[in-house]
Amino acid sequence: MDSTHDLIFPQKFLFGSAVAAFQVEGDGGKRKTDWDLFLNHHPTIVKPNEKGPEWWTQKNAEKDIQTMQSLGMQVQRLSLEWGRIEPEEGVINDKAIAYYKEVITYIKSLHMTPMITLNHYVLPEWIARKGGWAHKDILQYFTRFVALVLSHFSDVEYWITLNEPNFLLDAGYLTHSYPPQTGNLITGFYVRHYMIEAHKRAYALIKKNIPTSQIGIAFALRWDAPENPKDPLENFYAKALNYIENYNFIKAMQPADFIGCNYYTGYYLNLNFLKPRPSKNIDNRSIQQTKMFAELEKPGTYDTDFGWPIVPEFLLQLLRSLYKTFKLPILITENGLADKEDKYRSFYILTHLVAVWQAIQEGIPVKQYIHWSTIDNLEWLEGYRMHFGLIKLNPVTGERKLQQSAHLYSAIAKYKKIEVEKLMKEYLDEEQQKKALEVIKKLLMKI
């Protein structure tokens, strides 16, 4: 296949975008979560004039979803904020449920498919104070919450039980970056166990209530490849780490109807730790996840605002490896970049979707592509400094502006095909066209 042909996706393939409740909602300060507490203790993350994540009032949520629909999106992923629905133990906020109901009904009224995430990192404050995912009664609390949700949303087909349990375990419980900042191996052991059980129980409950539902977990899957694939030790090391860190966890979290894959970036791992090279400008978050003994090297073409390299080739490798290991359908539940000026988003979307297309040609059942994110939002420790949205948001005025790259994504999503040449000419500058062509050729020639 040469790159001048149109790349056509199966008619049933769905395109969409995602948000998470805490990152876009505010609830007028009424919700009570561990992240609200955390932000109060770290007042420099959100600037006072940024007013906090107040933007997804019902009206604004509908406006943004309507924009997505007009771009041709078929899926809207969103999460429910537990600390908004149950701000105090056992006390249910009917207004919060009514809000989510209206938003989900609205999504359906636009003939889009809602996908609900039950937990996207954030916990109610009352649970956090007891130790969060490490508390012995967390399973009872979580299943009670899931049952409540199901009593209101039994018409939703796609569910994610937990968002990135592997990353949250690392950032919140094994290290100190996210709440509850436990940083303790023994706690981590319990947390992992409870997360696995929470998924299993939620899966069983959802299936019982909605037999046709499709349920999965969204995993944080950074792909770290050996820098020298011919070096057997490096090769083995990269595979073993991936297995220990991610695949083992995914295996334990069965059953699932699909693997939810959150892929953003990847690095080369090398074992040159005895001969350190000069600093490679790698961001803190990646360093934090740096693998024991190995060093990280940047592959790829461009870096995003977060410093994460753009490597669509690694997405293809990841998809192959996931399917080979789990033999389950795959939904890309997040893929995107921080890019305030929208310099590379068109390049990113185009090349990553070619990788997805190629995977499908190889017989890998990738069923959906969900871009992160619908709109700029509160990027956890970074506040509003990182811009992932197809819609750009001014966090002070609330003004929205559609990024140019959203039109490229729209041209692909609406017609379920990539007109490679045409899109490259229309959306990429000359240098990017050259680089995109190189990457695309590699992807289509199976790398």
Given the rule CB under 6 A, which residues bind ligand BGC? 20, 23, 163-164, 167, 220, 262, 334, 372, 379, 388
* Residue whose CB is less far from ligand BGC, 262 or 286: 262
Taking a C-beta distance cutoff of 8 angstroms, is the pair 185, 125 a contact? no
Which are the contacts of 109, defined by CB distance < 8 A and separation ≥ 6?
Answer: none
β 266-270/223-226 pair status: parallel
* Residue whose CB is less far from ligand BGC, 301 or 335: 335
401-419 burial, b for 16+ CB within 10 Å, e for fewer? Answer: ebbebbebbbbbbeebebb
CB of 308 to ligand BGC, least distance (A): 9
* Residue whose CB is less far from ligand BGC, 3 or 17: 17
For 290, phi then psi, to 5°, come to -60, 140
CB of 167 to ligand BGC, least distance (A): 6
* Residue whose CB is less far from ligand BGC, 23 or 187: 23
CB of 257 to ligand BGC, least distance (A): 20
Taking a C-beta distance cutoff of 8 angstroms, is the pair 115, 78 a contact? yes
3-state secondary structure of 391: strand
CB of 264 to ligand BGC, least distance (A): 6
Which are the contacts of 196, defined by CB distance < 8 A and separation ≥ 6?
Answer: 249, 252, 253
3-state secondary structure of 1: coil
CB of 378 to ligand BGC, least distance (A): 8
Residue nearest to ligand BGC (CB): 20
* Residue whose CB is less far from ligand BGC, 139 or 220: 220
Measured between alpha carbons, how far is 362 from 353 in angstroms, rounded to an integer?
14
CB of 15 to ligand BGC, least distance (A): 18
Q: Two tokens at 105?
A: 């009904």
* Residue whose CB is less far from ligand BGC, 23 or 410: 23
- Which has the closest alpha carbon to 219: 275, 183, 268, 167? 167
CB of 404 to ligand BGC, least distance (A): 21
CB of 120 to ligand BGC, least distance (A): 6
List beta partners, residue 162.
119
* Residue whose CB is less far from ligand BGC, 98 or 287: 287
Q: How far is CA 262 from the centre of its chain?
A: 4
CB of 334 to ligand BGC, least distance (A): 6
Sequential DSSP letters for 218-263: EEE--EEEESSTT-HHHHHHHHHHHIIIIIHHHHHT---SEEEEE-
* Residue whose CB is less far from ligand BGC, 226 or 389: 389
* Residue whose CB is less far from ligand BGC, 194 or 384: 384
Q: Helices 138-152 and 185-209, interaxial angle, to 10°?
A: 30
For 245, phi then psi, to 5°, come to -80, -45
CB of 114 to ligand BGC, least distance (A): 17
Measured between alpha carbons, how far is 240 from 232 in angstroms, rounded to an integer?
12
Measured between alpha carbons, how far is 155 from 126 in angstroms, rounded to an integer?
29
* Residue whose CB is less far from ligand BGC, 153 or 388: 388
Q: Two tokens at 81?
A: 């904020």
Q: How far is CA 347 from the centre of its chain?
A: 19
CB of 446 to ligand BGC, least distance (A): 28
* Residue whose CB is less far from ligand BGC, 130 or 385: 385
Measured between alpha carbons, how far is 192 from 117 in angstroms, rounded to an integer?
19
